[in-house]
């Protein structure tokens, strides 16, 4: 992979829990716990995992909606903070949320909603309005029909198109799509996914695509990052990872994917129970309380990300670390990332 456009290193966000009469700290939710990954220019990185795994917190950290406790984010080689301002980051990395209605001001027309940001950024009013109308057309909404409408006069799919146009008004390099199509009907979802693919090709965009829908992630992504309890369990090229997931959690997630093929119907739940509490996550490998392959070593040491044979494929599991002490540990020589 060439020099990454986005480089995240050791990113951590813990939320303190307060309670009791004097609002004393009663614990810490370890929402994102030292994650490291890169995104190349022009690629789509999918992020998957059960709810509470930290994927949405990661998205919010990337656009500085919340401030990390530690770790670094580099955009185009420049570190946010020392080399690049948060203001510049927010211009270059835009986000589209799941709730298309809550994302829009109910008192602004679609033209105003899109032109507002550029005008605040110093663009002349007439130019911002022209840009808004151009972007409406680009996302498939005829400006002569939609520019003057309010959010309640649009369908969910149309509103999400406006939210995409609003994100594009800043000419971003990266768009973070956090469950952006999850609330849409399947037919509308397909149209918006195709629109996103067209815009990416047309404008040379880079996407971070967060979804609980593994089929949609496969369709959209070049690489996939699987998260579990605030950490990266596995990251790799989409087809290699879907064909041969290396981490037992990824294997369970993919086995739980709905299949249209009656011969591939799952008879047992591949992943039992809910994820453990992120306030007090399990020691060692956090998946050991649910893993069918767990061994003594798994509760003792954090395996860390390990480089798999395929380029760009890493997994955090003792089985893949030679000499880890796991009964099934591979004898393959390799390196820890």
Per-residue x/- track, 242-281, ligand SF4 (CB under 6 A): -----xx---------------------------------
165 binds ligand SF4 (CB under 6 A): no
Report the residue number, 36 or 182, with the smaller CB distance to ligand SF4.
36
Distance CA(66)–CA(77), nearest Å, equals 21
Binding segment (CB under 6 A) for ligand SF4, from list 42-50, 238-246, 259-267, 284-292 = 284-292
Q: Which of 294, 305, 308, 314 binds ligand SF4 (CB under 6 A)?
A: 294
Catalogue the long-range contacts made by 218-223 (C-beta closer than 8 Å, 24 or more residues apart): 218/46, 218/242, 219/193, 220/44, 220/46, 220/193, 220/196, 221/44, 221/45, 221/46, 222/43, 222/44, 222/45, 223/43, 223/44, 223/45, 223/46, 223/312
Gyration radius (Cα) of the chain, Å: 21
**Distance separating alpha carbons of residues 304 and 284, to the nearest angstrom:** 10
Answer yes or no whether residue 118 interacts with ligand SF4 by CB under 6 A. no
Between CA 226 and CA 238 the distance in angstroms is: 11
54 half-sphere exposure, CB direction, 13 A CA radius? 29
Burial class (CB in 10 A: 0-12, 13-18, 19+), 268: exposed
**Per rule CB under 6 A, is residue 93 in the interface with ligand SF4?**
no
Least distance (Å) between residue 274 CB and ligand SF4? 17
Judged by beta carbon, residue 127 or residue 292, the one nearer ligand SF4 is 292
Q: Which is nearer to ligand SF4, 87 or 332 (CB)?
A: 332
Stretch that binds ligand SF4, among 39-47, 49-57, 74-82, 292-300 (CB under 6 A): 292-300
Name residues contacting ligand SF4, limited to 214-243 (CB under 6 A). Answer: none
Burial of 21 (C-beta count, 10 Å sphere; 0-12/13-18/19+) = exposed
From candidates 59, 246, 298, 305, binder to ligand SF4 by CB under 6 A? 298
Least distance from ligand SF4 to the Cβ atom of residue 49, Å = 14
Element housing 96 (H / E): strand 93-96
Does 291 participate in binding ligand SF4 (rule CB under 6 A)?
yes
Q: Could you list the beta-strand ranges (E) of 141-244.
A: 174-178, 206-210, 223-228, 231-237
Q: Strand 44-48 relative to strand 24-39: parallel, antiparallel, unpaired?
A: unpaired
Whether residue 44 contacts residue 106, with contact meaning beta carbons closer than 8 Å, is answered with no
Nearer Cβ to ligand SF4, position 53 or 319? 319
Which of 226, 288, 313, 314 touches ligand SF4 (CB under 6 A)? 288
Q: Which of 287, 305, 306, 313 binds ligand SF4 (CB under 6 A)?
A: 287
CB atoms within 10 A of CB 70: 11
Decide whether 14 or 288 has the Cβ nearer to ligand SF4: 288
DSSP 275: P
Task: Considering only the stretches 73-81, 104-112, 270-278, 317-325, report the one whose residues sit in contact with ligand SF4 under the rule CB under 6 A.
Answer: 317-325
Q: At closest approach, how far in Å is the CB of 287 from ligand SF4?
A: 5
Within a 13 Å sphere around the CA of 245, how many CA atoms are in the beta-carbon half?
Answer: 17
| Single residue of 193, 285, 305, 308 touching ligand SF4 by CB under 6 A | 285
Q: Is 318 in the site for ligand SF4 (CB under 6 A)?
A: yes
* Positions that interact with ligand SF4 (CB under 6 A): 247-248, 285, 287-288, 291, 293-294, 298, 303, 317-319
């Amino acid at each position: 992979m060439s020099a990454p456009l986005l480089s995240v290193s050791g990113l951590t966000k813990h939320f303190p829990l307060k309670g009791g009469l004097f609002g004393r700290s009663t614990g810490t939710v370890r929402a994102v716990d030292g994650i490291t990954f890169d995104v190349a220019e022009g690629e789509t990185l999918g992020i998957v995992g059960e709810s509470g795994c930290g994927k949405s917190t990661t998205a919010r950290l990337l656009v500085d909606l919340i401030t990390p406790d530690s770790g670094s984010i580099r955009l185009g080689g420049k570190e946010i903070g020392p080399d690049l301002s948060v203001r510049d980051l927010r211009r270059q990395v835009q986000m589209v949320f799941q709730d298309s209605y809550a994302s829009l001001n109910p008192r602004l027309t679609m033209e105003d909603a899109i032109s507002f940001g550029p005008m605040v950024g110093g663009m002349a009013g007439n130019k911002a309005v022209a840009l808004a109308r151009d972007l409406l057309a680009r996302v498939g909404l005829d400006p002569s029909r939609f520019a003057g409408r309010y959010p309640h006069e649009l369908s969910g799919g149309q509103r999400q198109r406006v939210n995409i146009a609003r994100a594009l008004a800043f000419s971003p390099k990266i768009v973070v799509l956090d469950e952006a199509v999850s609330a849409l009907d399947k037919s509308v979802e397909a149209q918006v996914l195709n629109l996103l693919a067209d815009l990416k090709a047309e404008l040379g965009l880079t996407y971070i695509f967060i979804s609980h829908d593994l089929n949609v992630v496969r369709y959209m992504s070049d690489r996939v990052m699987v998260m579990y309890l605030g950490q990266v369990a596995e990251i790799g090229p989409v087809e290699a990872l879907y064909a041969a997931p290396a981490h037992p959690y990824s294997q369970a997630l993919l086995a739980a994917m709905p299949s249209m093929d009656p011969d591939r119907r799952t008879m047992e739940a591949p992943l039992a129970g809910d994820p453990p509490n992120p306030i007090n996550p399990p020691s060692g490998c956090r998946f050991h309380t649910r893993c069918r392959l767990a061994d003594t070593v798994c509760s003792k040491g954090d395996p860390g990300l390990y480089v798999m044979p395929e380029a760009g494929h890493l997994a955090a599991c003792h089985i893949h670390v030679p000499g880890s002490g796991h009964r099934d540990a591979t004898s393959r020589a390799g390196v820890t990332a």
